[in-house]
Structure 1
Amino acid sequence: MKRESFGSRLGFILVSAGCAIGIGNVWKFPYICGAYGGAAFILIYLCFLVILGIPVLVAEFAVGRGSHTSVAKCFDKLAPAGSCWKPLKFIGIIGCYMLMMFYTTVGGWMIYYCVKSLRGDFVGATPEAVTQSFSDMLGNAPTMMLWMVIICLIGFAVCFMGLQNGIEKISKVMMSALLIIMVILAVHSVMMEGAGEGISFYLIPDFQKIKEAGVGNVVFAALSQSFFTLSIGIGAMLIFGSYLDKSRSLTGEAVSITVLDTFVALTAGFIIIPACFSYGIQPDAGPSLIFITLPNIFAKMSGGALWGSLFFLFLTFAAVSTIIAVFENLIVFNMELFGWNRKKSVVVCAVLVVILSIPCVLGFNVLSGFQPFGDGSNIMDLEDFIVSNNLLPLGSLGYLLFCTRKNGWGWDNFIAEVNAGTGMKFPKCLKNYVAYGIPAIIIVIYLKGYYDKFAGLGTAALAGWMIVALVLLGFVFYCATAKKKVK
């Protein structure tokens, strides 16, 4: 079966950026920026994005283009005989399925709120009514189920049409519309009365605020966000590298995608933070910022129905672009592992993803009694923890070790693949940094993530969870070092 390829470089950049650009860019970045000092936080974040995010993204693209397969087969094709790298593929396979088990639910919320905004549901609504509206949605399993299924059908319908005719073509239109809508919203937001204070907060570094929030907390938050923003670690980006030819070097492509991803995150801040200051609301409200705080702002705003609709349409595009990209991974897994054609794989995956997404939907209502991390937690928190705190960092660590170790793909093969073609070259002098420095940073992020998550549960519980973390970490290093007899 001939492997598909992108019709243009722009198509690759927009599709890959669409995978990286997700709800986290709009949901998480503005509120952690608000919580950790605005512009001062952004400066630290951008530094970490360059020294951490881009090299890991380059490694993932290189493994994809070098193998011309998805994560389901890349280690099988590139790993030398007698090595034990192949089990690492399950991090990517499980990670992509697990991500879609809760991301489709949140994507459904975006479409639902876009429709509610178009209907004018929030116009003139009281803060209590806006808050109650979100609670009512979470408690209504049929409504949540409907919108989850709708976004799944949209995503799989695009993938059904193939790479060039479906994913690339639709992503070009959707990403272009997303960027245009963002710029319009940002211009409107910064023109609001009283927005100047928010703009100052966002653009003028105030290092005193870093001190108030705690230097260590701010640095770690910036470090973590720079790592997770690009969706690296579970092979979601790897597959798009597998569709590339060798006409362009991979470092320049990774930089272009990172710049686009960062532009969206920063522009989201220009939309949200000045609007919050304009209406006297703190921009560190956490995840409720999107579904409670902002609808309250739109309710008070002149033309709020229009601006709210555009905002949630933009959010919907961000969610759908990621969903389409990860769905493509799931579809290709089946095509490579079982030899299925695209149509059969799409149908099977669509049914499977809908079924697997049901627990997350029910976790807010029917199964709300299941609270895996204590009061207030739910099934989505568990699924997000497995992906964000485990599979993303462990998968990224695996790619870096695989690309730099002699018993893996190896540094020479990695550099040859990355620097093939015209464009920006990856510096060969960074070998030790990529082989040892970045893995060390990832291990710190991974273990501190566990510590922060479970430190409040007591010493015994924390010790138990840290053992779990070390066992999973040990699995990656076992795959990177173990040998088996070659028959």
Structure 2
Amino acid sequence: MEKREKFSSRLGFILISAGCAIGLGNVWRFPYITGKYGGGAFVLMYLFFLVILGLPIVVMELSVGRGSQKSSAMSFNALEPAGSKWHVFRYFSMAGNYLLMMFYTTIGGWMLAYFVKMLKGDFEGADTAQVEGVFTALTSDRNGMLFWMVLISVAALLICSMGLQKGVELITKVMMSSLLVIMIVLVIRAVTLPNAADGLKFYLLPDFGKMEEAGIKEAVFAAMGQAFFTLSVGVGSLAIFGSYIGKERSLAGEAVSITALDTFVAVVAGLVIFPACFAFDLNPGEGPGLVFVTLPNVFREMPGGRVWGSLFFLFMTFAALSTIVAVFQNIIQFARDLWDWPLRRSVIVNGVLLILLSIPCVLGMTDWSSFTIGGKNIMDIEDFIVSNNLLPLGSMVYLLFCVTRYGWGWDNFLKEANAGAGMKFPSGRGVRFYLTFILPLIVFVIFIQGYISMIMK
């Protein structure tokens, strides 16, 4: 068996783990729900939930990865007590990573397509209806969507085929550094637009009245849900990176760095979106409409908008591609851990499978658009299975595995999490009680709430 690769630097590990967590939800959902639920007041609540909900599970997932030196395909086998069945979770973990990529590569393809469209000047001289028409045309063009989906998938597979250090780590470092620089440049441009101050006030000033208006309960669930889902915990997509690092640094500190970077991108995205939308009197909605209709309209009005729009969609492409590379790397490592496959074989076999399995998502918007379940098309169904089922239930598995004596156990988890220099994971009796009895209950409530929201729609 070939020797397992390691990251060449701590920065590489933090940027790649953050790259996995930083995705499209940071840009098209976080700013919108922040504006809706009271600006700065919501951000404070979100940060609180991030610390008490998301962070502990990030530390646990990283600990299981580092403790086993395996991806989630084999990590539970290495750590579970003899005779227990925790390893069965690997099938759910693998399914979760595959399902996520079955729709995420299509959205990543849209970002790449829009970067090229902006660069070519496709939006210059277009009116609002024509801008909307561009997105409608893209999402009803089967062959076009397949082309962009395959292109971004092949790019990610090529990066993974170059190995951990020379491919995944090196290129993600470049992408993530560029992403952060582009964001700062876009913020400077956005906040210097006319009327930008109104957008900043709407976004950042705590407004408890607005929170009350939208409903305190709804705001709390929105903050909990966003804090929980933003970090992509639960399907082993972070555990893999834990398996590539040594024990020089404790994991609580590393988890804080990853979470801080993820939050930074989410908050800064709002600093671009709200001033820009307020400057041109456009409503910053949520979801694809914000990114593909509202913002191209903003760039169309803005002096030098073609350049700013191209930069924005380059940033969005990097955000999507960094997640795709991270999850592909996890999927490729599954086969290597399970069957001892060489890198090349795992890349080719998984690459073909991933592209084939991503085709139904595209067809679900075109040839198979009449196929829906409960009003959801194929993309929405895949998203619902991952986000509302596999992520919360997977998080519950990691949580219980680390805190109960029927799993890896509290002492083993703490020893692994706290090995090395840096911030230690708290070991007090109150923390243990919270993690054993209260946090699983909260995760379960988030899981149930996903179904309630779906039924109430």
Structure 1 Cα separation of the partners of residues 285 and 424 of structure 2: 39
Shift of 1:38: 1.8
Shift of 1:215: 0.3
After TM superposition, the runs of 4+ consecutive aligned structure 1 residues lying more than 6 A away are none
Structure 1 Cα separation of the partners of residues 442 and 397 of structure 2: 13
Alignment of 1:267 onto 2:287: no
The aligned counterpart of 2:295 is 294
Letter in 1 for 2:397: G
Structure 2 Cα separation of the partners of residues 36 and 123 of structure 1: 34
| Residues 450, 5 of structure 1: alpha-carbon distance in 2 compared, 3 angstrom cutoff | same
Confirm or deny: 8 A CA contact 1:123 1:300 kept in the other structure. Answer: no
Percent identity of paired positions between Structure 1 and Structure 2: 57
Shift of 1:282: 2.1
Specify the SS of the correspondent of 1:363.
helix
Letter in 2 for 1:228: F
Shift of 1:43: 1.1
The aligned counterpart of 2:170 is 169
| Residues 117, 148 of structure 1: alpha-carbon distance in 2 compared, 3 angstrom cutoff | same
Structure 2 Cα separation of the partners of residues 373 and 293 of structure 1: 28
Confirm or deny: 8 A CA contact 1:72 1:89 kept in the other structure. Answer: yes
Map Cα deviations across residues 84-110 of structure 1 (whole Å, 9 max, x no partner): 211111221000000000000000000
The aligned counterpart of 2:394 is 395
Confirm or deny: 8 A CA contact 1:34 1:284 kept in the other structure. Answer: no
Confirm or deny: 8 A CA contact 1:138 1:144 kept in the other structure. Answer: yes
The aligned counterpart of 1:373 is 374
Map Cα deviations across residues 242-291 of structure 1 (whole Å, 9 max, x no partner): 01111100000000011111100001000101111111122234431011
Structure 1 Cα separation of the partners of residues 22 and 263 of structure 2: 9
Shift of 1:337: 1.2
Structure 1 Cα separation of the partners of residues 225 and 101 of structure 2: 21
The aligned counterpart of 2:236 is 235
Confirm or deny: 8 A CA contact 1:35 1:284 kept in the other structure. Answer: no
Alignment of 1:284 onto 2:279: no
TM superposition score normalised by structure 1: 0.92
Confirm or deny: 8 A CA contact 1:123 1:298 kept in the other structure. Answer: no
Matches within 5 A, 1:16-415: 16-374=17-375, 377-415=376-414
Letter in 2 for 1:433: Y
Alignment of 1:431 onto 2:454: no
Alignment of 1:418 onto 2:417: yes
Letter in 2 for 1:234: V
Q: Which 10-residue stretch deviates more, 436-445 or 110-119?
A: 436-445
Confirm or deny: 8 A CA contact 2:81 2:408 kept in the other structure. Answer: yes
Shift of 1:37: 2.2
Shift of 1:27: 1.5
Confirm or deny: 8 A CA contact 2:26 2:230 kept in the other structure. Answer: yes
Structure 2 Cα separation of the partners of residues 40 and 333 of structure 1: 42
Letter in 1 for 2:412: N
Shift of 1:402: 0.2
Structure 1 Cα separation of the partners of residues 402 and 108 of structure 2: 34
Map Cα deviations across residues 23-80 of structure 1 (whole Å, 9 max, x no partner): 1111111122222222221111111111111101000000000000000001111111
Specify the SS of the correspondent of 1:427.
coil
Confirm or deny: 8 A CA contact 1:28 1:287 kept in the other structure. Answer: no
Specify the SS of the correspondent of 1:71.
coil
Shift of 1:317: 0.2
Confirm or deny: 8 A CA contact 1:33 1:284 kept in the other structure. Answer: no
Confirm or deny: 8 A CA contact 2:59 2:252 kept in the other structure. Answer: yes
Letter in 2 for 1:204: L
Shift of 1:3: 1.0
Specify the SS of the correspondent of 2:350.
helix
Q: Which 10-residue stretch deviates more, 32-41 or 129-138?
A: 32-41
Confirm or deny: 8 A CA contact 1:371 1:379 kept in the other structure. Answer: yes
Structure 2 Cα separation of the partners of residues 84 and 310 of structure 1: 48
| Residues 285, 9 of structure 1: alpha-carbon distance in 2 compared, 3 angstrom cutoff | closer
Map Cα deviations across residues 130-181 of structure 1 (whole Å, 9 max, x no partner): 1111111111100000000000000000000000000110011110000000
Q: Which 10-residue stretch deviates more, 88-97 or 312-321?
A: 88-97
Confirm or deny: 8 A CA contact 2:28 2:286 kept in the other structure. Answer: no
Structure 1 Cα separation of the partners of residues 282 and 34 of structure 2: 14
Letter in 2 for 1:368: S
Shift of 1:357: 0.2
TM superposition score normalised by structure 2: 0.98
Letter in 2 for 1:324: V
Q: Which runs of 5+ in 2 are unaligned?
A: none
Map Cα deviations across residues 375-398 of structure 1 (whole Å, 9 max, x no partner): xx3110000000000000000000
Shift of 1:124: 2.2
Q: Which 10-residue stretch deviates more, 122-131 or 219-228?
A: 122-131
Map Cα deviations across residues 337-380 of structure 1 (whole Å, 9 max, x no partner): 11110011001111000000000011111110012222xx3110
How many equivalent residue pairs? Answer: 454
Structure 2 Cα separation of the partners of residues 97 and 77 of structure 1: 23
